[in-house]
Amino acid sequence: MSNKRELPVLAGTLLLELAWSMSYMFMAFETYAQAGFYAYALIRSLPSLAYFLGSRFLGFLSDSSGMRRPFFLLGGISTVTSLLAMAFLPIDLWIPVISLWYFLSAYEPVMIAYLSAEMEAGTASGEYYAASELGFTLGTARGGMLADALGIRNVLIIAALVALPSLPLFMLAEDGPYRPLDIKNALKRTIQLKFPGGTKKYVPIFLTASLSISVFYMAFSIKVFEASGRSNSLMGLLIAAAGLFGTLTGPVYGKLTDRLGGMRSFLISCLVYSAYFSIASFIEDLTLLALLMVILIFPFHYSSRNALAMELAPEEKASAVSVPSSLGSISEAVGNYMGGTLMGLLGLTETMIAGSILSLAAGVMIRLHGRKGEGSDLKVKA
């Protein structure tokens, strides 16, 4: 249960997620409707690349300075101003604005590090996920209907107003004392792709696991969108239902992760995802597709990857969480474009199967790496 220290920042996170979810997804669908697979892939991939850089940069800055609250405020301000700007700019300029927004609002690792000061890593991730998913649920439930009824530009203005109250909430975050900002070192570490603690050895695994999810959902979202008759309203309700499931299960998955440990939990999530992706690849019925869309495994995957990262680098929590978070973003950038390309060349089903194979490969990599580590421990003991 969150206490008075966590509640304001979780409420602020909920509002930003609400503003994002009621706008961005439907901007992407509008792009797809006007320009096809490749444009849709581009608007989903480039902002993710910006998030990759932003989450690492802000994570390093936060750990070196001891600051948390200023980065929450930066995320809120960038969200409000970006949404208002896009409401009046031509669609051609949306991608650069969204990319800058994603870079400046990539405070997720900082938030989880802030929460983990009072709770275990898996539980902190679960609490954050529950708050963000509740905002996601509320946003997508109404965003699709508002986009159909009012148009996307009016939705962007409404979303900016929704995000605005996050600023006074973030001001309530307990923070300090601060150390001087080391921007030069943070930029250097971001550009050089240095990874804290033992996270470096797991970069290929985090990357493959995240890539599998991006490739799959790139195709799956379009499959459900087409099966729904291209209905923004129905898609919004389905995505909202998935968010509600994530809200309810996020804390449960977080506690389960703490009980099983980051390594074991992450392995299980990759194997379960592989089976899930395979099943979804061959289903055509809208009702069954909707059911799969609602039943989420990602909250478990999310908590386990963050817990594993913090186990590997306990002295730099924000920097540690920024590794799977940023790799997830770059995988989304690569995976979305790869998914768009595969869909254009092979089709939806084949693209979804590719996601299943990648998830299975990540599970195998985790298992092999674990055995290698066990062997090293035996040698040391001998």
Residue-level pLDDT, tens digit, the chain, 382 residues: 456 678 888 899 999 999 988 888 788 877 777 766 677 777 777 787 788 788 888 888 888 888 888 999 999 999 999 999 989 988 878 888 888 999 999 888 888 888 887 777 777 777 887 788 788 778 877 777 788 788 888 999 999 999 999 999 999 888 877 888 778 887 777 777 678 888 888 989 998 998 898 889 888 888 888 888 877 677 777 777 777 777 778 788 888 898 998 889 999 999 999 999 999 999 888 888 888 887 778 888 888 988 888 888 877 777 788 788 777 777 777 777 788 778 878 888 899 999 999 999 999 998 887 656 544 443 433 3
Q: What is the pLDDT of residue 371?
A: 59
pLDDT at 36: 67
Cis peptide before 196 (omega within 30 of 0): no
Domain residue ranges in the chain: 7-176+183-381
Amino acid at 138: L
**Distance from CA of residue 285 to its chain's centroid?**
28
CB-based contact 297:269 (threshold 8 Å): yes
Q: How many residues does the chain have?
A: 382
pLDDT of 267: 93
CA dihedral 332, 68, 263, 187 (to 10 degrees): 60
Number of Cα atoms under 13 Å in the Cβ half of residue 254: 24
- By the 8 A CB rule, do 360 and 274 touch? yes
Distance CA 341, CA 38 (A): 7
If one looks up domain 7-176+183-381 in CATH, what number appears? Answer: 1.20.1250.20
pTM of the model: 0.64
Q: Do residues 243 and 134 touch, judged by C-beta distance below 8 A? A: yes
Between CA 307 and CA 314 the distance in angstroms is: 10
- How far apart, in whole angstroms, are the C-alpha atoms of residue 46 and residue 253? 30
Q: What is the dihedral of CA 137, 141, 147, 152, to 10 degrees?
A: -10
* pLDDT value of position 375: 44
Sign of the torsion angle spanned by Cα atoms 221, 202, 99, 254: positive
